[in-house]
Amino acid sequence: MALAVELDGRLIGDVSLHLREVDPRGRRAEIGWIIGTEWAGRGYATEAARAMLQFAFDTLEARYVTAVMDRDNERSHLLARRLGFLDIAEAGGERTLLLSGEQFRRSSQRRSPV
């Protein structure tokens, strides 16, 4: 699934989700995002990725979501870490991060006002 990220009717990026394992015991998806450099650093990618993660964990009932990115893409790495992802591998110039549904829910609760 890929969704456009729009601002005032203008396409500024997208966020995508790919199902990688369908077995309910280990259902896993992979997320990706891209935001135009003109709009980077304003929270648009964070908001779009967080909504897609909510869908992955609540609707698809994924147990885990991975994010794979270029090892040198520090902005994406920082975004993934803000979302709660943990680094699990680095090989061939790529970095792989993992987020469990449990970890996502915990990080979401910390952001919610009490």
Phi/psi for 73 (5° steps) reads -85, 80
17-47 pLDDT, tens digit each: 999 999 999 999 999 999 999 999 899 999 9
Residues 51-78: tens digit of each pLDDT: 999 999 999 999 999 999 999 999 999 9
Structural domain boundaries enclosing 8: 2-111
Kindly report the CA angle at 89 between 44 and 84, in degrees rounded to 5?
A: 35
Overall size of the chain counted in residues: 114
How many domains, the chain?
1
CATH number at residue 46: 3.40.630.30
